[in-house]
Amino acid sequence: MGFPKDFMWGGATAANQCEGGILEGGRGAANVDVCPAGEDRNAVITGHLKMLEMDDVHSYPAAEAIDLYHHFKEDIRLFGEMGFRVYRLSIAWTRIFPKGDEEEPNEEGLGFYEEIFKECQKYQIQPLVTISHFDCPIWLIQKYGGWRSRGLIDFYLHLCEVLFTRFREYVTYWLTFNEINMILHAPFMGAGIYFEEGDNEEQIKYQAAHHELIASALATRMAHEINPENKIGCMFAAGSAYPYTCKPEDVWEALLTDQENYFFVDVQARGYYPSYAVKRLRKKGIFPLIEDGDAEILKKYPVDFISFSYYNSRCIAAPGGGQDEAEGNLFKSAKNPYLKFSEWGWPIDPLGLRITLNHVYDRYQKPLFIVENGLGAADVPDENGYVEDDYRVEYLDAHIRAMMAAVEEDGVELIGYTSWAPVDLISAGTGEMKKRYGFIYVDKQDDGSGTLARTKKKSFYWYQRVIATNGEYLKEDKNNEEF
């Protein structure tokens, strides 16, 4: 019983939310760099406000972020102190290929990530690398239209070839695309797509997704050819959809929501477009153009494991129900009256994680990996600079217990858990620093002020004990526990 001895505990970050240094090391400009803070951010990330360069009007959180570019040794040392067995990070595409379509990679960028991997090795931390965590070079957006163009497949595969070859001795766990289903909700941030007047937006999004699905399958083939030890995973934003009531119309809408959420993973894990998607996309006239040989590629090269983010479940009502709305990782849904909510209005549903784990495992029967789960909160340090984040401990304790039950009682095959995020970083959805997730506090504020100093929160020591005991600590009587 319990987690396997080799269970991979750790934390997850994304280059565009923590790295900074966007003008250093030969790096080029990317879509994630020009997503501003403030009221225009949502219009940009959804592709409805064209922004392909920085101006003097907006602030751009990714420019410095938390400056992991210069602090990675300190941060990885702290991850090692917590006992991490795995660190999920992403590659900034434009740090390797500044424009995206060069023949030769940027050696300085490759050297930067090699230093990160060497630092991980020092603390016996295994990297889990996301190849594309929403990064798309601005040049490829200007010249080709981002992932709406099939031409990006070759550029992406060139990036993969360089990464798989150069980092063969450091990395064997890879994710092809982060939260691939986000392309439907944030197409500029997810795939470098902005829309012009008259565009068929839904058709463009599904066509771009098809290109990413082909790229993912071909990357899986390449990874296995270059190193048979490589394990390739897909990644999606998960969270089971509950019907708002037992009214059949609500149940039906919840089923449709789940199918939309699982659609891309159905393709990546099973190797073909599910019949429900084919029927509905054809009926709407938005079925993507599929070239000869595409079906065979998808069929022959499914992923090895399924990874996902889980922040909340969703509550779905039939149209016209008039229910209050709730937020949640760029997804809106009806407000579940049985749940508590975070400061940002996200439902808090630990049991929902167990339900989601069962749904995903029942559907695919492949190993699972939870690669994002955490609580965003406005942490306030005390006079000594210490954050008593008991609310975060409570949130994570409940979710890991639910995860443990799915493994011990339900038989779900789970290989790891990386919390989002081990260190405070900027929010993808809002661009804020105020919305903090980390076990490590970073002294930086929304206005850009701060020293960038790192400080351990109370949750740091709690997670350290969870890892050290492989989760068994959660079964002990912890009343009045001091860390």
For residue 77, the tally of other CB atoms under 10 A from its CB is 13
372 assigned to active site: yes
Q: What residues contact residue 62 under an 8 Å CB cut-off, 6+ apart?
A: 16, 17, 20, 22, 32, 33, 35, 426
Terminal alpha carbon distance of the chain:
27
Tokens 């069962």 belong to 358
Cβ-contact 443, 453 below 8 angstroms: yes
Q: Which two tokens stand for residue 34?
A: 């020009």
User: What DSSP letter does each residue of 371-410 carry, written as one string?
Assistant: EE----B-----TTS----HHHHHHHHHHHHHHHHHHHTT
CA distance 425 to 435: 8
Q: Which two tokens stand for residue 79?
A: 């991850």
Of 372, 413, 472, 482, the active-site residue reads 372
Q: Which of 258, 211, 432, 221 is nearest to 358 (CA)?
A: 258
CA distance 132 to 343: 29
Cβ-contact 444, 390 below 8 angstroms: no
Extended strands (E) in 76-216: 86-90, 126-132, 173-177
Q: What is the rounded radius of gyration, in angstroms, for the C-alpha atoms of the chain?
A: 21
Alpha-helical (H) ranges within 83-137 are 93-96, 107-122
CA distance 436 to 173: 27
Q: Which of the residues are catalytic?
A: 372
